[in-house]
């Protein structure tokens, strides 16, 4: 067991073989030496690290219900303020929230929006595995167009999820917070740099981190880093940050790979390679190009 | 369980997730260049760098840091073998 990396989250948790979520947690929490308090939405991370009567957490950890991780963080922040005022504590601990895409894009969105608007001092980290993976892979607002999921199955008449994924970064950006960034667990240095910046930002900050799910994106357990890298190399998941409203793309792809490279390594997109679904891949490629050109324009403007 | 419903981390009571592994990573200590790439990506944080006395190093350095794997918690996913830039880790049954 690595002593340095397990200071805040120990080994022995029950995430699936080859799951990148613990790596995200360790690198985000490792970016600060100050004490932290973790709030967690229901999801893969919560059910695997806190199997009763054990816990893998070595820092104070609160889980209440699915949709209110951000509201829990608001409460912790408010309590710390009150304790500071009455002189019971001298310094505030950092508050970090971890939520999956289900607990952030869909169920926890109003709690997140409220906490961002009230300006509480916390960092919200959304690990985006693009579906409700803990309960068997149902579609979420973060599931990409064309993916085969349990509740949007591909078959004779359907090609999988027929809707585009939500642009969560823009939703969060609409709250005018000081720092938010999109990162990817396969780019550890990028993730560490962004976590450090976000934790040093006073007030709310937000990180959206891609987390390839080996079980329900359907690829071998050894491949989460390779699949994550392909997502960025095909511009499906560009790495960028928004600081005081200014966009900055961190990883500009000079020769982006075609989106097929990213789709073909995953079982959830297997059906798209049948002849009748060829136009869906063209749609996905067009959407990726469109999103990137919008992002590039915003980065040029600021 | 302590007062107030607080549960504390105790690694000695923790389930040994090493039981899950169907294959185990093996480090070729002479090939390993000590870059620590595998350490960062290991989901279970069970790789630590350890000093190793090598006879085969070409640049007269007898001691070097190599990856050492804790099989108590290694689930055998194979991420370390996949990310290794010099392919010093191989998965064995």
Give mean pLDDT, residues A203-219: 96
Domains and CATH numbers, chain B: 29-92 (3.30.70.3270)
Closest CA to A235 of A164, A284, A172: A284
Cβ neighbours for A177, distance < 8 A, ≥ 6 positions apart: A116, A203, A204, A205, A206
Q: Is the pLDDT of residue A235 over 60?
A: yes
Q: What Å distances lie between residue B28 and A63, B20, B48, CA to CA?
A: 42, 23, 15
CA dist B16 and A108 (Å) reads 33
Closest CA to A222 of B48, B76, B21: B76
Distance of CA B66 to the CA centre of its chain: 10
Distance of CA B70 to the CA centre of its chain: 6
Q: Is the pLDDT of residue B1 over 60?
A: no
- Chain-chain contact of A22 with B44 (C-beta, under 8 angstroms): yes
Is the CA virtual torsion A252, A258, A264, A267 positive or negative? positive
Per-residue pLDDT reduced to its tens digit, A10-60: 999 999 999 999 999 999 999 999 999 999 999 999 999 999 888 999 999
Strands B63-69 and B47-53: antiparallel
Q: Which residues of B touch A (CB under 8 A)?
A: 1, 7-11, 13-17, 20, 39-48, 70, 72-73, 75-79, 81-83, 91
Q: Which chain A residues contact residue B46 at CB under 8 A?
A: 1-2, 11
1.10.3720.10, 3.60.20.10, 3.90.1310.10, 3.40.50.970: which CATH number matches A5-301?
3.40.50.970
A193: exposed, middle or buried (Cβ count in 10 Å: 0-12, 13-18, 19+) = middle
Contact B77, A15 (CB under 8 A): no
Per-residue pLDDT reduced to its tens digit, A269-287: 999 999 999 999 999 999 9
pTM of structure: 0.94
Contact A185, A19 (CB under 8 A): no
Position B7 scores a pLDDT of: 85
Per-residue pLDDT reduced to its tens digit, A74-97: 999 999 999 999 999 999 999 999
- Chain-chain contact of A11 with B46 (C-beta, under 8 angstroms): yes
CA dist A240 and A251 (Å) reads 7
Closest CA to A7 of B19, B11, B66: B11
Select from B2, B6, B7, B9 the residue whose CB has the most chain A CBs within 10 Å, as the one to mutate to test that interface. Answer: B9
Contact A198, A24 (CB under 8 A): no
Closest CA to A72 of A91, A89, A97: A97
Per-residue pLDDT reduced to its tens digit, A131-190: 999 999 999 999 999 999 999 999 999 999 999 999 999 999 999 999 999 999 999 999
């Amino acid at each position: 067991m690595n002593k340095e990396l397990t200071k805040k989250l120990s080994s022995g948790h029950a995430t699936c073989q080859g799951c990148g979520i613990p790596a995200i947690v360790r690198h985000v929490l490792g970016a600060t030496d100050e004490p932290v308090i973790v709030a967690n939405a229901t999801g893969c991370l919560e059910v695997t690290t806190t199997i009763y009567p054990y816990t893998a957490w070595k820092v104070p950890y609160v889980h209440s219900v699915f949709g209110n991780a951000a509201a829990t963080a608001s409460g912790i922040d408010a309590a710390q303020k009150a304790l500071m005022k009455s002189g019971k504590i001298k310094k505030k601990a950092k508050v970090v929230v971890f939520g999956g895409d289900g607990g952030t894009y869909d169920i926890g969105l109003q709690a997140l929006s409220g906490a961002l608007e009230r300006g509480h001092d916390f960092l919200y980290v959304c690990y985006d595995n693009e579906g409700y993976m803990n309960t068997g892979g149902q579609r979420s607002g973060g599931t990409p167009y064309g993916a085969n999921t349990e509740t949007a199955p591909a078959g004779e008449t359907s090609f999988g999820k027929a809707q585009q994924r939500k642009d969560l970064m823009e939703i969060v950006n609409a709250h005018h917070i000081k720092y938010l960034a999109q990162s990817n667990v396969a780019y550890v240095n990028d993730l560490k740099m962004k976590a450090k910046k976000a934790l040093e930002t006073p007030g709310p900050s937000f990180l959206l981190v891609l987390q390839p799910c080996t079980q329900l994106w359907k690829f071998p357990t050894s491949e989460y880093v390779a699949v994550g890298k392909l997502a960025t190399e095909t511009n499906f998941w560009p790495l960028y940050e928004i600081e005081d409203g200014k966009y900055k793309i961190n990883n500009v792809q000079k020769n982006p790979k075609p989106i097929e490279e990213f789709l073909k390594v995953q079982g959830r997109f297997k059906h798209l390679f049948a002849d009748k679904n060829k136009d869906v891949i063209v749609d996905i490629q067009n959407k990726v190009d469109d999103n990137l050109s919008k992002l590039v324009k915003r980065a040029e403007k600021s | 369980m302590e007062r107030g419903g607080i549960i504390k981390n105790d690694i000695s009571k923790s389930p040994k997730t090493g039981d899950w592994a169907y294959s185990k990573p093996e480090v070729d200590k002479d090939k390993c260049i000590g870059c620590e790439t595998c350490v960062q990506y290991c989901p279970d944080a069970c790789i630590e760098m350890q000093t190793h006395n090598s006879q085969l190093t070409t640049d007269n350095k007898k001691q070097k840091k190599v990856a050492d794997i804790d099989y108590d918690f290694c689930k055998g996913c194979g991420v370390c073998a996949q990310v290794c830039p010099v392919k010093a880790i191989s998965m064995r049954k």
